[in-house]
Amino acid sequence: MTPEEAEKRIFSFLENVEKVVKSKYYRYIVQKQRMVCKLLKKEIGTLGKPVYHISWYSLNDACEEIKKDISFLLKRRDKLIDMLRPSPGKIAGIIAYRLGKNHIIHLCEGCVACPEQCASNLNFDFALRCAWEYINVQFLRVPEEIRKELFYTFLHRHVNQETLGLVFDSIANIYEKGKSV
């Protein structure tokens, strides 16, 4: 493969990652409209007022950062690894990190003041679910205590994309579709 062909493949791959992340985001946001408000005991979509809004600028910015990080990773490893791209877990770590650290979902006034805060972590939840889907592991297939620990660590501890990449590689190796545990 010529360098130009490799560059085109990388560009195509990065554009595809962005397209898939955004489509998953739209699907996730629609799904979260069915989430039940703990205080009012109603689905969020039926409350009659907006619960959160999405910063499309932040989502686009996160996608650009994802593409830059993956591109940098590919260029840095070009001579070291004889393959076109790193492991799915590494890419999932980048996706989760960049989506989680950008403030994409913002709660509206009523939810910000609510003592229940049932919708306050949607941004982190989305970031991790997007990474789960990238490694092709069903979220509910992994034991709840592992999911909770990863979410807590992602939310409250310092993690970087490399550490997340190792975690997602491990999860993919243990729980990938078709393997029995």
pLDDT at 80 over 70: no
Look at 85 and 166; give whichever has higher pLDDT: 166
pLDDT in tens, 113-152: 676 766 677 888 888 888 888 898 888 888 999 999 999 9
**Where do we find the tokens 């770590």?**
93
Look at 146 and 49; give whichever has higher pLDDT: 146
Non-local CB neighbours of 115 within 8 Å, separated by 6+ positions: 39
Distances (CA, A) of 25 to 33, 69, 166: 13, 20, 24
